[in-house]
Amino acid sequence: MIAGKPLPGVRHEPLFGHARPPASRAPQAGSAADARPQGNGAIVRRWFRLRLSLVQQLVLLVLAFSSLSILAVLGIMANRYLQDVSEQALRNTQIVAQQMARAAATPLQQMDRRALMVLTRTALAQPGMQLAQVHSPDGEILAQAMAHDAVHAGGDEIMHPVLHEASGMPIGQVVVRSDGAALRQVSRSLWWTCGSLFVGGLLAVGVSGWWVARRVSAPLCELAAAVDQLAQGEAAQVENRGTAEIGRLQRGFNRAALALAHQRSELERQVRQATAQIKLRNVQLQAADQAKSRMLAAASHDLRQPLHALTLFTDALQSSESDPARIERVARVRECVDALDRLFTGLLDLAQLDAGTMQPVVRTFALDALFDELSRNFRAMAEERDLRLVVRKTDVRVRCDYVMLLRMLNNLVSNALRYTVCGGVLVVARRRGERVRIDVIDSGIGIAEQHQQQVFEEFYQVDALASRAERGLGLGLATVRRLSQLLDIPVRLRSRPGHGTMVSLEVGGAASPLTAGPAAEAGDDAATPPAAVQRCADGLAGLTVLVIDDEVAILEGLELVLGQDGATVVTAQNRAQALARFCERRPDVVVCDLLLGAGDSGLEVLQVLRQLPPWQADPPGVLLVTGETSADRLREIASAAVMVLHKPVPPWLLRCRIAEAACARSPCRPAG
C-alpha cells in the first residue's frame, strides 16, 4: 500500500495474525461485568475523598497530565514508525516481485523449470522473503522456494504477471510473500522501548514535579504553621519569600498577626482590669454581706430581748386580769406581739438555713395529723377575718420532715389568709402516682405574672390591699423556697389577679407502716401545745427553776409567768450568781440565756455548772434560750446538743419545754 491506496494484485493482511473478535453480546443485568465498573468507581470516589497534602496533590496532577501527554506522543510516534516500516517492507516485496517477473520471462517461454527453480531460490534469498513461486497461465506452480519455518501470518503477498518479451501478453505470474515475523519483532521492540521511555519520563516528571511542588508549598506550610501558632495565642511572623502572590499573602498575614497581637494584649489588659474590679467588688460585697448579717443579728438580738420580756409580761397580765374590757385590750397587745414573733421567726428560719444548722429528719407519717395541727394553728385567724379555712381529711401517708413540711404549709396558709378579703382557703392533698401533691388554694387578690417568680425572693413584696403590718417582711415564701430546695420538693405557683392563687407542693408518698412521732416534733411554730406536753405543763407546781439572764425585765417576767403555775423561780444575772444560786438550792431545771453580761457565754456557764458535784450527782434539765441569728452562733448552739428556744418564746411553749426538761430528768408527775 503506497500513499494510503491499495496496490493492484496485492492482498493485505493484518500486521499481527489475530482474527477480529466477534461482536460481544450485551452483558446481562447483575453480571460481574456490571459489578466491576461500579467497584472501580467506588474506589475512585474513595481515592478522591482522601485528604492529600498540597505537595501530593500537585505531584499527582503533574503525573496525570504528563502521563497522558507522554502516552499520546509515544503512541503517535510508534504508530507512524510502524507504518513506515510496513510500507518499506511492502515496497521491498514489490521490487523483488517485479525483478523476479522480468527474470522469469525467458525461462517461462522455454519452460525451463531448472532456471525457474534457481530464480525462486534467488528471490527467497532476498532479506525478509518467505515464499517465491512461478505459476503457469492456468495456475500451475512451475517452481517454488519456501523458507523452512514459513507460516502464512502477517506478511505481504505480491502477485505480479510475467509478460512475453515480444508481444507483452501475460504468459504466467510470480508470487512473492514477505516474512511477517521480522515486522512483529520490530513492533515488540518498539513497544518495549516506548514503555521504558514512558516509565522513565514519569519518573523524571515526578521528581521534578515533587521538587517544584515542595518549592511552591513550603511557604504555604510555613504560613499554616504560623496560623496554628497564632491560634494557640502565641505571636507569629513568617519570612517574606516566595512568588509575588505568596509574598503578598505573607505580608498580609504578618500585618494581621501584628494587629491581632495588639488587640489581644489590649483585651488581656482590659480583662485584668475587669477581673481586679470584680475581685474588689466581690470583696466589698462580701464585706457588706457580712456587715449586713452582723447588723441583722445584732438588731435581731437587741429587739428580741425586750420583745421576749413583753411576751412574758403580756401573758402574766392576761392571766391575772378579770375585767373583760382589759382582757380584750391585752388580747390586742398579744396579737401585735404575735405578729412581731412571726417576723422574727421568719428571720430565724432564713438564718438557720444560711448557717446550715437546719437539717431534715425524714420519716413516714400520716398527712392528716399534720393537717389537723395546721387547722388548729389558723382556725382562729380565719374566723377573725370572716374567712373559711377548709383542710380536707386525707388518708395518705408521706415521707418527709414533719417540722419543715408543717413550717412550709404554715407560711403558705398564713400568706393565703393575709391576702384574702372574702371567700376562704382550701388545703387538699391528692395522690399522683408515687408522690402526693398538696395544694393551698385561696380566693384572694392574686399575683400578677411578672411577680410570680420574684415573690419567692427574700424581702420581696408586692403592693396589695393588705396593710403594711399584715404584709410582714416578705420572708414567708422565701422560707418556703429554701425549705423546698433542702427537702427536694417541687413548688409550683399559679395565680390570676382578682381570681386567687394556688401553690402546690409535691411530697414523696409512702406505703410503709405509719410511724407518726409525737406532736412535739411539730416544732416551735405550733399555736397550741400538744396534749402530752400540756399534761406535763400542768405539773409545773413544785418545780425549782434556775433562770440565768442578764436582762432584769426578762427575769421579772419569768418569775411572774412561772410563779403563776406554782413553780419556784431562782434568778441569776451572771456566772458567779449562777454558781451561788445552784449551790444554795439545787434546781430541777436550768433555763439559761446564751449571751450574758461582760461577754460571758451561757454555754460556758452550763459547762462550769456541770463540773459541780451536785450536778453530777443529780443532773437537772437544761434549756437554752437565745435571740442570736448569726451563722456562727447557730452552729455553736447546734453543736451543744441541748434543748434550744429562740426569743421571743411564747409562754405556753416555754412551759411545755420546761415540763419536757423536767420529764426527761424524772418521770412526769400526774396533773393535780
In this predicted structure, what is the pLDDT of residue 152?
55
3-class secondary structure per residue, 259-327: HHHHHHHHHHHHHHHHHHHHHHHHHHHHHHHHHHHHHHHHHHHHHHHHHHHHHHHHHHHHHHCCCHHHH
Looking at per-residue pLDDT, the higher value among 129 and 502 belongs to 502
The domain limits of the chain are 53-236, 302-358+529-672, 361-522
Give strand pairing partners of 175. 133, 159
pLDDT tens, position by position, 411-468: 899 888 988 889 999 999 999 888 999 999 999 888 888 787 777 776 667 754 444 4
3-state secondary structure of 399: strand
- Split at pLDDT 50, 70, 90, the class of 529 is very low
**For residue 72, pLDDT beyond 60:** yes
Helical (H) or strand (E) element with 411: helix 402-418
pLDDT tens, position by position, 110-137: 888 888 898 888 888 888 788 888 998 8
- Split at pLDDT 50, 70, 90, the class of 48 is low
pLDDT tens, position by position, 571-619: 888 888 888 888 888 888 899 888 887 778 888 888 888 888 888 888 8
Judge whether 100 and 123 are in contact, CB under 8 Å: yes
Distance CA 569, CA 546 (A): 6
For residue 360, the tally of other CB atoms under 10 A from its CB is 15
In this predicted structure, what is the pLDDT of residue 256?
83
In this predicted structure, what is the pLDDT of residue 585?
84
**For residue 272, pLDDT beyond 70:** yes
pLDDT tens, position by position, 127-171: 878 888 899 888 888 888 888 765 555 678 888 898 888 888 888
Which DSSP state fits 598? Answer: G
State the fold for domain 53-236. Answer: Beta-Lactamase (3.30.450)
Calculate what percentage of the chain has a pLDDT beyond 70: 75
220 CB-near residues (< 8 Å, 6+ apart): 54, 246
In this predicted structure, what is the pLDDT of residue 469?
40
pLDDT tens, position by position, 286-314: 887 777 666 666 666 666 667 767 777 77
CATH number of 361-522: 3.30.565.10
Here the cell at position 12 is 493485505
State the CATH architecture for 302-358+529-672: 3-Layer(aba) Sandwich (3.40)
Mean pLDDT to the nearest integer, 211-223:
77
**For residue 79, pLDDT beyond 80:** yes
